A and B are shown apart, each in its own frame.
Chain A
Amino acid sequence: MTSTEFKNENTGLPIIVKVMGFSLSLVLVFTLVANILPQVEGQAPEEMKIDLNALTMDSYIAMGEEIFRGKGGCTVCHNNMGRAPDILAMDMSATIDERLTDANYKGGAKDLQAYLYESMVDPSLYVVAGYGKKGAEHESPMPVINKAPTDLSEVEMNAIIAFIQTKDGGEATVALPTGVVATEPKSAKADIPKPAANAEQALKKYTCTACHAILDSSAAVGPKLSDVGERLSPAQIRESILNPAAVIAAGFPPIMPANLVDTMMVNELEMIVAFLAKQKAADVMDTDSQESNLTQSGASGPVVERPTKPEQQ
């Protein structure tokens, strides 16, 4: 056959049209297939808004079921396809004893609630036989639920636990989340320590007994407080605590901490003042004490005369 004998069969439409037509038709077949299938959009999980005031155990359980089927992603594997135990079809409370006593159980749970919680935060502590990773039977392919990407909160995980406990007629042992929602910012209240319960504890708390003879201390670094009620009025006692440098007792070093005004709580101060104001020598006027105050030498600070009788406020 020579080239001149060749008969070009291309009558009718130009090649480009035929080719484009064929290509378009084929592509449209594929597009059609894609469009007649069930159309589902994979929505991102929404932040759950929980009204804790209106929450009842029933609604909490319902929330747990919703999370189980939705945001938690549990039903991706926990279904009847064989990837993971079909939790929805089985009664977990019936199998719990068997699991906890299994030789391969490595966790520390003692009941269903603790076990379920454990299985969410550390799934590999126990893997039901046949569901482990390929080649590593005792490693769980389940993701850690309170971490990304699932990232469920404690409230959400407990809701799931409540759901699983009750779906076959059992009792929910989880506590309902209380009114104080964990999402509120931690206020300064949380940082404030509790005040001392009484004057004795307050005195110990602020280490007064390290320098002053009071309670069971006989320290003599600072003036004796076991009879301070006879020497000083409540106002003077208060001033000595809040502003120790205002009046230094004769013969004593000016070393009392000046920061009690910042650290001591108001009610602690009042308790101490009231307590110290009542400290008087038992029945006997120790007249010597005043002399000993005046004659004590070695004091480096200025000696100031104090009125011997406490001023009444």
Chain B
Amino acid sequence: MDTIKNWAISFAIAIVIFYVMDQAIMSMQGLPLNFDLSPAQ
């Protein structure tokens, strides 16, 4: 159980980090994204 918890939390953290990074980096360049990461322009 501990193992599954570890993996679940780890992947959750990783996904959040990369999702936020994607949104931030693209909008910083003037290329905003929708929630599903498709181009907003």
A residues near B (Cβ < 8 Å) are 134-137
Contacts and interface: CB of A to CB of B under 8 A. Distances in A.
Nearest to A135: B30
Q: How many B residues are at the interface, by size bracket?
A: under 10
A135 B29 CA distance: 6
* Cβ-closest 8 pairs across A and B: A135-B30, A135-B29, A134-B29, A134-B30, A134-B31, A136-B30, A135-B31, A137-B41
Contacts of B29: 134-135
Contacts of A137: 41
Contacts of A136: 30
Contacts of A134: 29-31
Contacts of A135: 29-31
A134 B41 CA distance: 12
Interface of B: 29-31, 41
Contacts of B30: 134-136
8 contacts: A134-B29, A134-B30, A134-B31, A135-B29, A135-B30, A135-B31, A136-B30, A137-B41
Contacts of B41: 137
Nearest to A133: B30
Most buried by A among B29, B30, B31, B41: B30
Nearest to B41: A137
B26 to A, nearest CB: 11
A260 B41 CA distance: 73
A307 B31 CA distance: 97
B5 to A, nearest CB: 42
A135 B31 CA distance: 7
A136 B29 CA distance: 10
Given A134-B31, A135-B30, 6 more contacts: A134-B29, A134-B30, A135-B29, A135-B31, A136-B30, A137-B41
Contacts of B31: 134-135
A137 B29 CA distance: 12
Nearest to B28: A135
Nearest to B30: A135
A209 B11 CA distance: 100
A6 B41 CA distance: 69
Nearest to A129: B41
A136 B30 CA distance: 8
A86 B41 CA distance: 21
A69 B29 CA distance: 32
A236 B13 CA distance: 110
A134 B29 CA distance: 7
A83 B41 CA distance: 17
A121 B25 CA distance: 34
A177 B30 CA distance: 45
A134 B30 CA distance: 7
A137 B31 CA distance: 10
Nearest to A136: B30
B10 to A, nearest CB: 34
A251 B38 CA distance: 98
A33 to B, nearest CB: 34
A127 to B, nearest CB: 13
